[in-house]
Amino acid sequence: MGKRAAAIVGLTEWAPKRVWDEPMFTMEACARLAAEVLADAEVDKGEVDGLVINGLRESPLFAPSALAEFLGIRSNFNEVVDLGGATPAGMVWRAAAAIEVGICETVLVFTPSVPAPPQPGANGGPMKMKMGAYMGGEVWGSPQGQFEIPAGLVAATPSFAMAAQRYMAAYGVSEETLAKVAVDSRYNAQANPLAVFYGKPITIDDVMSSRYVADPLKLLEIVMPCYGGSAVLVTSAERAARCPHRPVYVSGYGEHLTHKSITYAPDIVDTPIRLAADRAFAMAGVSRDAVDMASMYDCYTITVLLTIEDAGFCPKGQGGQFIDEHSLRYDGDWPLNTHGGQLGMGQAGLGGGMSHITEAVRQVQGRAGERQVPDCNIAYANGTGGMLAEQVALILEGA
Amino acid sequence: MVHFSADGRPLPTPTPITAPYFDGLREHRLVLQRCPRHGYFFYPRGRCPHCLGADWEWGELSGRGTVYSFTVDRAGHDPALASRIPFAIALVDLDEGPRLVGNMVDCDVDDVTVGMAVEAAYEDVDDITLLGFRPAG
C-alpha cells in the first residue's frame, strides 16, 4: 500500500480564456482562489499552515512571505517550485511530503495565470515582446542564450517537434495516429463546459489539414495559450476524513530531470518520465493495470505518446499502436485527459498543468459529471516541464 | 546572453569561458574542450560535465556529424527570426561525440532527414560567427 499521509480535499479552477477581461495582481488571484478552494473543502483559513507557489509578480523575492502577509496566514511550510509545466505536480507531492514529515498540516497550492492591471506610465516595449520566446535564456552567461536562441530554438514547439521527428524516424508513427490524440482530447472537451474548445469538436482531417508550425507538428496538435487559474488544498489524512469530498491520497510520486535545453537531453525519445513514473508506481504499490484513468500532460500530441510509453503503459515503440487500439475518450476503454486535456481545455499557464490534477481529483471524487469514469479509484497524473525536461508523476487514490 | 545584429538577428554574447569556442568559429574552425577521461563535450564550461574535472584542453574537431533530429520552423517562434522562415534547426551528433544545435544551410528545408551526414558551415554575422551545418560534401 502506498502513502496515506496526505490527501487532496478541494479544488477550484477557472475556465481558461484567450482574453481575460478582469486583470488582477497575482496576490489578488491567490486570495480569490484560496477563498474558493477553502469553501470547496469546507476548511477554515485559520487551519492553513503551508503555501506552495511558483512565484509572485508583485514580490519577485520573498514571495511566500509576501503571500502569507497578503492572505493573513501563519505558515509553517513555504515553497516556491520552478519546474515549468511539471510545477503543479511537483507542488502537490512537496505539499504531501511536508505534511507526512509533520512540518505542516494543511497546504494551499496555487497556480494562477492572469494578466496584471495595466501599470501607469509603463510600456512593456518591443524588446520585452521580442524576448518573450526566450523564457529568460537571454541573460548574461546563459548557455541557452549563446547556443539555442541564435539557432532559433526558442519557445517550446520546435523542441517537441524534434522529439516527434526523431520518434518517427526511430519507431515509425503516422501523423494520423498523433492526430487521434488531439481528436479524442477534443471529444472529451465537449463534456467540459470550462474548456476553451467546448462546442468545437474536430476530426482527424481537421488536424491533418491544419498548417505545419514546426515539422512534423501541426497547429491542432499544439495547445492554445490562455489565461486562467486554479488551486488545490492538500491536508493530512486525519483532517481529510472530515472534509465533504472523498479524500484523494497522494499515494505515490516521482520526479526526474536531466537537462534544460532539448539539445542536451540524453535521449529525446526516452524521457525523464520513465524514472519519475517508475518511482511513483513503486511508492504507491500500484500496477499500471490498476489505473482507472490517466491524466497526462499534453502540451503536444507527441507528449502524450511518449508519456504512455515511458510511464510504462505499453512497451517502447508501441505507443502509436496503443493509441490506435484504444479509445482515449471518457466513455472509451482507456480514459485519458477526460477534461479535454490542455489540447481541448486550453493551457492557462501553470493552470494547464494543474488541470491534469484537478481532473484526476474530480474523477476519483466522483464529481466529473457527464464525463465521469465509472468506479474511478486510482488515477495517474503527471506533469512535463520545459523541453521534455522536468518530469513529475503522481498516483492519486481515493480513500 | 543575447544581443542583436544590425538586421535584428539574435546573436550570442561570448563569456570568458566560451570565448575560445567563438574565437574558433570566427576562424571557421570548430574548437571544443576535451576531457582526458571523457573526451569532447559541449557546451564550453569550466568543468567536465561527466567528472567535474578541470584538466580539459581545447582541441579542433572535424566538423563532421549526423543529424540526430531536426525541425522546420514555419511559424517564426522567435519574432526576430520571422523574416527567415522557413528554416531548419538541427541537432547534430558530431563524429567525435558531442551533440550540438545549428541551422541547416545550403539545403532545402524539405531535404533534411534524420541520419543525414553533415559538415560544419560558418556564417559570419556582424561581430560573431554562427555554427551551422550543410549536407556533407
Residue B68 touches partner A, C-beta closer than 8 Å: yes
Q: What is the CATH number of the domain that holds A293?
A: 3.40.47.10
Across the interface, whether the CB atoms of A263 and B14 are under 8 A apart is answered no
Smallest Cα distance from A165 to chain B, Å:
6
Long-range own/partner contacts, residues A22-25 (CB < 8 A, 24 or more apart):
A22/A114, A23/A114, A23/A115, A23/A116, A23/A117, A23/A118, A24/A114, A24/A116, A24/A117, A25/A57, A25/A58, A25/A116, A25/A117
Across the interface, whether the CB atoms of B2 and A150 are under 8 A apart is answered yes
At B102, give phi and psi (nearest 5°).
Answer: -165, 170
Residue of A nearest to B73 (CA): A214
Distances (CA, A) of A186 to A196, A340, A383, B72: 10, 6, 19, 26
Sort out which chain B residues have CB atoms less than 8 A from A264's CB and list them.
99
Sort out which chain B residues have CB atoms less than 8 A from A260's CB and list them.
none
Give domain status of residue A184, yes or no.
Answer: no
Give domain status of residue A289, yes or no.
Answer: yes
CA gap A293, A262 in Å, rounded = 29
- DSSP secondary structure code for residue A266 in this structure: S
Across the interface, whether the CB atoms of B115 and A263 are under 8 A apart is answered no
Across the interface, whether the CB atoms of B1 and A145 are under 8 A apart is answered yes
At A278, give phi and psi (nearest 5°).
Answer: -55, -45
Q: What letter represents residue A277's amino acid?
A: A
Sort out which chain B residues have CB atoms less than 8 A from A263's CB and list them.
91, 99-101
pLDDT of residue A213: 98
- Closest residue to A263, CB basis, from B77, B84, B91: B91
Name which of A387, A322, A312, A314 is nearest A162 in CA terms. Answer: A387
pLDDT of residue A132: 86
Give domain status of residue A260, yes or no.
Answer: yes
- For chain B, what is the radius of gyration of the CA atoms? 15
pLDDT of residue A122: 76
Looking at domain B2-135, its CATH class is: mainly beta
- Closest residue to B89, CB basis, from A129, A158, A170: A158
Mutate to test the interface with B, among A131, A215, A261 (most CBs of B within 10 A): A215
At A241, give phi and psi (nearest 5°).
Answer: -65, -20
Across the interface, whether the CB atoms of A215 and B74 are under 8 A apart is answered yes
Residue B108 touches partner A, C-beta closer than 8 Å: no
Mutate to test the interface with A, among B89, B110, B131 (most CBs of A within 10 A): B89
Residue-by-residue DSSP string for A130-162 = HHGGGTTTTSTT-HHHHHTGGGT--SSHHHHHH
3-class secondary-structure state, position A63: helix
Across the interface, whether the CB atoms of A141 and B15 are under 8 A apart is answered yes
CA gap A151, B81 in Å, rounded = 9
CA gap A128, A140 in Å, rounded = 16
* Residue with the three cell numbers 547556443: A147
- Closest residue to B89, CB basis, from A139, A152, A213: A152
CB pairs under 8 A between A and B: 119
Give domain status of residue A136, yes or no.
Answer: no
Sort out which chain B residues have CB atoms less than 8 A from A153's CB and list them.
89, 101
Q: How many domains does chain A have?
A: 1
First to last CA, chain B: 33
Smallest Cα distance from A142 to chain B, Å:
6
CA gap A70, A73 in Å, rounded = 8
Smallest Cα distance from B100 to chain A, Å:
6
The beta-strand segments (E) located in chain A are: 6-17, 50-53, 77-80, 106-113, 212-214, 217-218, 227-236, 248-256, 293-295, 378-384, 391-398
Residue A291 touches partner B, C-beta closer than 8 Å: no
Residues linked to residue B33 through DSSP beta bridges, in sequence order: B41, B58
Residue A125 touches partner B, C-beta closer than 8 Å: no
Mean pLDDT by 10 residues, chain B (137 residues): 93 98 98 98 98 98 98 97 97 98 98 98 96 96
Sites in chain A below the pLDDT cut of 50: none
Distances (CA, A) of B4 to A354, B11, B80: 36, 6, 9
pLDDT of residue A128: 60
Strand arrangement, sheet containing B31-35: B39-41, B31-35, B57-60
pLDDT of residue A131: 80
Residue-by-residue DSSP string for chain B = -EEE-TTS-EEE---TTTHHHHHHHHTT--EEEEETTTEEESS--SS-TTT-----EEEE---EEEEEEEEEE-S-SSGGGGGG-SEEEEEEEETTS-EEEEEE-SS-GGG--TT-EEEEEEEEETTEEEEEEEE--
CA gap A211, A296 in Å, rounded = 25
Which domain does A245 fall in, by range? 6-116+222-398
- Closest residue to B10, CB basis, from A140, A149, A162: A149
Residues linked to residue B90 through DSSP beta bridges, in sequence order: B70, B102
Sort out which chain A residues have CB atoms less than 8 A from B70's CB and list them.
162, 165
